[in-house]
Structure 1
Amino acid sequence: MLGHDLVSHVRSAMLNKLRGLPVPESHPVLSQLRAGVFVTVESIVRSGGYERREVRGSLGIVEPFKDLAFDSAKVAAKLALSIPRFTEFDLRRSVIEVTLVEGLREWGGDLGSFEWGREGVYVIAGNKKLVVLPQTMIERRLLGPALLRYIESMVGAPERMYKFATRIFYELRPEGEVIERELWKSRVIRQYLEVVR
């Protein structure tokens, strides 16, 4: 239920922003919750008889500013305007993914205690900041030492690193059923864990 409410709220915020209408900043359930939130928009691309998803844009905050209804609507509205040539028509043909971020805590880079598929990373290096969500780790095969190499290649030597827990809610089809992604069950992570054990 939370996933459906959250994705529906985000989609409404994006649609209203694209139409020039006020963005819904409250919700009976979401206004009671506090969490960081990332919103991702993926277009459905059909080519050669296959269908794939292509990220159009992603934006978020690692710590809550206000409540989840307010924060998710503001992030979604800003994202809708930041995607080049993004229209109502594009939104109707796109799937929405919302990642909740909770429990931000310092992390020394210990890979042995890292919960692959459940945790993400927030890194600060000077004026550079980087967020790596669990889905990015799987898509780019950033498991084990590859994650630390990726961080260094993106921001240089990190001054501070944090990890956080996530819950990922995802539309199966545009405006369709919403599921909670269980990335820790992915084949990529299982194969990695078999090798390191």
Structure 2
Amino acid sequence: MSKYHLLKNEGIMAVKLARQTIEAMLNNETPKRMENLPLNFQEERGVFVTLTLDGELRGCIGYPYPIMSFEKAVMKAAISAAFEDPRFFPVEKKDFKKMIVEVTALTIPEELEPPFMSYANQIQIGKHGLMVEYQENRGLLLPQVATEHGFDPVEFLCQTCIKAELIPMAWKYGAKVYRIEGQIFHEVEPEGEIVEEKL
């Protein structure tokens, strides 16, 4: 799989898809696919959908791993963020009109080039998140985690292995390591202009 960033118009489509999916559910309708979606929406990738109301979190659910098409992941994450986030009551129609919709698209994981001694040089803190896989174990940490905790690349590698329930140094002993990036697209105001937030 190759790395792939969303173009601005694709990010705008993703946010609109999330909003229309939630609106359909609120109207007791079956959510429909958007017409003329770029072919890239059929690529498997991770995504999070976040809802805010008056600046406060109102729902956030996602699929960190690329296990389904981007189109399907956006729709399923939107439904879950609105109606299945255990921290909140399900969204109601009157409130949704005042909510801002945000979509965080994760790039397709890009495997780090061996040997493992060079892994740290391939990781840019603040830009890259990491995913580690070994047999049935898998762990992912988003780009902001390293920044928030002050990790250097080696500590970031170790912490991602721990997240995968592996020994910290598993990245030296055969675990596959991938880097990812996140792109955030959100409405400036409810149902308003959609912009990309620069990390």
Q: TM-score, normalised by structure 2?
A: 0.67
- Across the aligned residues of Structure 1 and Structure 2, the Cα RMSD in angstroms comes to 3.1
Q: Counterparts in 2 of 1:15-164, with a 5 A limit?
A: 15-30=23-38, 33-35=41-43, 36-44=45-53, 52-54=55-57, 56-63=59-66, 65-66=68-69, 68-84=70-86, 85-88=89-92, 89-107=94-112, 108=116, 110-124=119-133, 128-138=137-147, 140-141=148-149, 143-144=151-152, 145-157=154-166, 159-164=175-180
Deviation by residue 1:87-130 (Cα, 9 ceiling, x = unmatched): 13443443322222333232358232213444322234665543
Q: Distance in 2 between matches of 1:37 and 1:174?
A: 24
Q: TM-score, normalised by structure 1?
A: 0.68
Identity %: 18
Q: Distance in 2 between matches of 1:117 and 1:94?
A: 28
Gaps of 5+ in 2: 1-8
Change (3 A) 1:28 1:111: same
The alpha-carbon deviation at position 7 of structure 1 amounts to 0.4
Q: Distance in 2 between matches of 1:29 and 1:131?
A: 28
Change (3 A) 1:171 1:31: same
> When you count strand as a share of all residues, which structure comes out higher?
1
Once the two structures are overlaid, the 10-residue window that deviates more, 8-17 or 160-169, is 160-169
Gaps of 5+ in 1: 46-51, 184-197
Q: Could you say which residue in structure 1 is the equivalent of 2:187? A: 171
The alpha-carbon deviation at position 17 of structure 1 amounts to 2.4
The alpha-carbon deviation at position 37 of structure 1 amounts to 3.6
Count of aligned pairs: 175
Q: Distance in 1 between matches of 2:134 and 2:95?
A: 36
SS in 2 for 1:103: coil
Q: Distance in 1 between matches of 2:23 and 2:122?
A: 40
